Homo-oligomer: A and B are copies of this chain.
Amino acid sequence: MRLCKTINEIGALIKSLRIENKTVGLVPTMGYLHEGHLTLVREARQCCDVVVMSIFVNPTQFGPKEDFGSYPRDLQRDSELAEEAGVDIIFAPEVEEMYPRGFRTSVDVEEITDVLCGAARPGHFRGVATVVTKLFNIVQPDMAFFGQKDYQQVLVIKGLVRDLNINVKIIDVPIARELDGLALSSRNVYLSKSEREAAKVLSRSLAKAQEQVANGVRDIEKIRELVLSEIESEPLARIDYVEIRSIPDLKDLKVLEDRALLALAVKFGNTRLIDNKVLEV
């Protein structure tokens, strides 16, 4: 496995792969890898000749009061996990390599970034869209792999790729979960033992919503109320949002007529967790 720290370095490597007609798969991450990331790697491994993983804690997608500084980082551990899972090249640039002095360009996907995590984290998706555009241009992958845990992010990136005519196929992969249902996240390490226990309420509430839908409930507000009350039954949980929106436009819905996204963000102590489920009608 190769570790590249600079754009020139990985650029030269990619160029030589292109000459050999190798297909390239990119797994963009912020590191501190968990089984969710490794699922993406295994998927990429099956589809492409060469698997590139980027590891970059992107400052521009964090708000001023968010956890950029304290976000967990461990490149040594990540390298070992990545190699074991089948990564060929890690691209792990410093912040100055990605955002040199005088950097002033941004990429914005409008409307679908005004809701859910976009409303809760202003500027977050601009940061995501910009860094992903950069990574696509640097790595020039045939395919890129993203987890459905950030479902809105997947929709933003698919929109970006379509609108800007970026020649990359976006593959989204189901959420990886702990045995008790908690969605895997690098931020789970922040949870105290009691918060970790309490956080089980998230996947449980999503499952209950799907049950209601299976039982024929179609009233969006009714389903939403059920999820809210389930989460509110957990004293350590503080709800940021619980919403049900259309796919792929994330529009408001009154009645469930087609598959829709049930998405939520909930804080446990200082740790903000997200989870979601595509409600199938």
Contact = CB atoms under 8 A, between A and B. Distances in A.
A136 to B, nearest CB: 9
Contact of A107 (B7, B105, B165, B249): B105
Among A11, A104, A108, A130, find the residue whose CB has the most chain B CB atoms closer than 10 A.
Answer: A104
A167 interface: yes
Copies in the complex: 2
Interface in A78-135: 102-112, 129-130, 133-134
Interface stretch (A156-164, A177-185, A256-264): A156-164
Contact of A105 (B102, B108, B249): B108
A28 to B, nearest CB: 14
A66 to B, nearest CB: 22
A102 B137 CA distance: 24
Interface string A161-199: 001111100000000000000000000000000000000
A1 interface: no
Contacts of A13: none
A109 B138 CA distance: 19
A108 B106 contact: yes
Interface of A: 7, 11, 102-112, 129-130, 133-134, 137-138, 140, 159-160, 163-167, 249
